[in-house]
Amino acid sequence: MNKHGESQANLKDVVVVTVVDDMEQAREYETLLRLNDIPAIIKEQLDPAGNKIGIAILVPEDFLDEAHVVIESQDAYDDFYDFSLDEDEDADFDADLLDDEF
């Protein structure tokens, strides 16, 4: 089977791995998945009236579990990094409590 045929076969039976609100985050997830050798596509999700309700990240069903792990690991890393930055910003929070005004 040629490379083009393999690509079509891989994306034939796709399932939603996650839905996000903005295209920037969708593209970040798509890139992250592809860097981990997981084929991914982005598709806008519409309600019955045709209004955009989110952006779905789709992967072949065979890659679903692996895609969940990759995305959850990245989210955990981002949360840890954000917490670390918040902690640095709040480092002087207790400094005022130690100052005696007597």
Report the C-alpha dihedral over residues 87, 92, 96, 98, rounded to 10 degrees. Answer: 90
Task: Give pLDDT tens digits for 53-96.
Answer: 899 999 999 999 999 999 998 866 565 556 656 555 555 555 55
With a pLDDT cut of 90, the percent of the chain lying above it is: 51
Query: What band does 9 get if pLDDT is binned at 50, 70 and 90?
Result: very low
Q: What is the pLDDT of residue 1?
A: 38
Query: What band does 38 get if pLDDT is binned at 50, 70 and 90?
Result: very high
The pTM of this model reads 0.64
Most distant CA pair in the chain: distance in Å? 83
Q: What is the pLDDT of residue 35?
A: 95
**Cβ density class 44-76: b for 16+ within 10 Å, e for less:** eeeeeeeeeebbbbbbbeebbeebeebbeeeee
What's the distance, CA 102 to chain centroid? Answer: 52
Sign of CA dihedral 39, 44, 47, 53: positive
Which domains can be identified in the chain, with CATH numbers? 3-90 (3.30.70.1530)
Query: What band does 2 get if pLDDT is binned at 50, 70 and 90?
Result: very low
